[in-house]
Structure 1
Amino acid sequence: MGQLGTEHSSAVRSPDAPPAAPSGPLGLLVRALIVMALIAGGVQLTQTPAHRPLDDLFQAIEAGEVSTITMEQLPPNSQGQSTVEWDGLARPAWSTYEYSSENAAPEGWAVDDPSVSGADERAMILDLASRSGVQVLERDLGASSGGHLVWFSGLAWTAALLLLIGGPRPRLASKWAWFWLAVATPITWLVFAILEPTLWGRRRPSPQRARRLSGGWGFLLALVIAGLLASIPWYRDHFLR
């Protein structure tokens, strides 16, 4: 189980390195379960509300990007802090807001108007939603918006890491290279489970590559990939925020 730290990191294949043996039935099953859990986890993540500043909600409403807003039903003449969730074009989101029936926003207020500072943000949300025709749903105070979640991505990440550490020597890249790439983007585990040590379902041994990606190059490549993915708005909104 300690092979991740002790594996030889050279990218050059040993002349007498044996071909990579295909996975047995149990190994294929484990790899298939990891792939399915990763896919389920990715879908789950895109449907799980991400925290956003409240200004993002106001801007999204004005841009026509919000379909439904969900808020807690609060007692009259109360004040404090509560949460709001909304669905739109991208990943669902949530934020917190301050409410107080004594601090109403001025008539004809605008999102970027400094005079609304300290105003009842709940009333502002409801007013802006009404003006924009956005549906507002209320749930009981303290009620959960969903049941208990099974975090498939976390389970799959852990299983794939254990497979990397305790499994056979990878054919395409060193164990450290696979690790750094997976840190940069978890989708790497999907590629790893399908391709290592041989293509999933392949019944014959695969020859070792003359050169494979070393841990050092894997680390540098991971930095480049992480930067590129962070620059893609769709990926950033769905997986990084």
Structure 2
Amino acid sequence: MTIAATEPQASYDEWRTRRWRLTSLTFGLLWLVTAVAVVLVGEKQSDLSSLAGSLANGSVTRVEVVGLPQDPDWRGRQQVTLKWRESVLSRYAVVTVDTRRNPSDQWDGDQVNGDLEVHLRGFGPEPDITYSEATGFQEWRGYRGPGWVALLAFAAWLGTGLLVIGGPEPWRATRWAWGWFVLMAGPLGSLGYLLLGGPLSLARPKDVRQRLTGGWAFLIALVFFGGANAG
């Protein structure tokens, strides 16, 4: 792999000045707050089979059903969301419920024909099932949460990108290289830049002239993160 050996335009020690240290710590703390918010109120996408397994082994005892009509005489097909909590993160699964006399199986994804509550209780020890109305959320790469969490993440990501553009010359990779990582890898690229690119001044390289170029960084980001962005 080719590594650029050009002399950086600014002193790498500039990251150690109070101005850039405080700026970098601010964005680092913003990412930390975002991560905590995702754990506390965010949800990770899952499926009905995972919920069934957790109900069967007793690790899940409470399920929230979102968006299902509560009229006992209701007949039709409705897409609902099942929510439950496992270990650290909450999970959700989108399921189609069909209560018609002649339900259709021509549907992609998880489907339950008949009474959803009876179906869930058939997986194991009777869970505590609650019902709620659908609310707004923001979704990204299999995770979703309230709009304010998305706003926090966007602010942290945008701030990190501006730091790449306007901050001192970064370590280990050029501005273009770190820019591709931040753009295509999102939180992972941003975290890598803050920890290894100079902002938080961790593990300063011995030879600051050896840096990954933008072309190679683009290819690496495309291979490892391009598919996730496309999805």
Q: TM-score w.r.t. structure 1 length? A: 0.65
Is 1:214 aligned to residue 208 of structure 2? no
Query: Hey, what's the Cα distance between the residues in 1 that align with 2:224 and 2:157?
Result: 19
Is 1:150 aligned to residue 138 of structure 2? no
RMSD of the alignment, in Å?
4.0
The residue type paired with residue 86 of structure 2 is G
The residue matched to 1:150 in structure 2 has which SS? Answer: helix
Match of 2:60 among 60, 66, 87: 66
Match of 1:54 in 2: 48
1:139-162: CA deviations, max 9, x gaps? 3x4567986533222221111011
| Unmatched segments (≥5 aa) in structure 1 | 1-8, 105-116, 231-235
Query: Hey, what's the Cα distance between the residues in 1 that align with 2:209 and 2:20?
Result: 25
Match of 1:12 among 5, 8, 15: 5
Query: Hey, what's the Cα distance between the residues in 1 that align with 2:117 and 2:125?
Result: 14
The residue type paired with residue 19 of structure 1 is S
Q: Give how far 1:50 is off.
A: 3.0
Structure 1 residues 223 and 144: alpha-carbon distance in aligned structure 2, compared to 1, 3 A threshold: closer
Q: Give how far 1:71 is off.
A: 1.8
The residue type paired with residue 136 of structure 1 is I
Structure 1 residues 86 and 101: alpha-carbon distance in aligned structure 2, compared to 1, 3 A threshold: farther
The residue matched to 1:96 in structure 2 has which SS? Answer: strand
* Count of aligned residue pairs for this structure pair: 205
Match of 2:36 in 1: 43
1:112-135: CA deviations, max 9, x gaps? xxxxx7621513444225x32433
| Unmatched segments (≥5 aa) in structure 2 | 104-110, 138-144
Match of 1:34 in 2: 27
1:45-94: CA deviations, max 9, x gaps? 34512333334333432344424201247121113423221112463222
Structure 1 residues 199 and 154: alpha-carbon distance in aligned structure 2, compared to 1, 3 A threshold: closer
Match of 1:100 in 2: 99
Q: Which moved more, 1:183-192 or 1:209-218?
A: 183-192
Match of 1:132 in 2: 125
Percentage of pairs with the same residue: 22
The residue type paired with residue 49 of structure 1 is E
Query: Hey, what's the Cα distance between the residues in 2 that align with 1:85 and 1:42?
Result: 20
Match of 2:82 in 1: 84
Query: Hey, what's the Cα distance between the residues in 2 that align with 1:174 and 1:11?
Result: 8
The residue matched to 2:171 in structure 1 has which SS? Answer: coil
The residue matched to 1:132 in structure 2 has which SS? Answer: coil
Match of 2:15 in 1: 22
The residue type paired with residue 190 of structure 1 is L
Contact 1:50–1:91 (CA<8 Å) still a contact in 2? Answer: yes
Match of 1:184 in 2: 185
**Greater RCO structure (CA 8 Å; 6+ sep):** 1
Q: Which moved more, 1:206-215 or 1:164-173?
A: 206-215
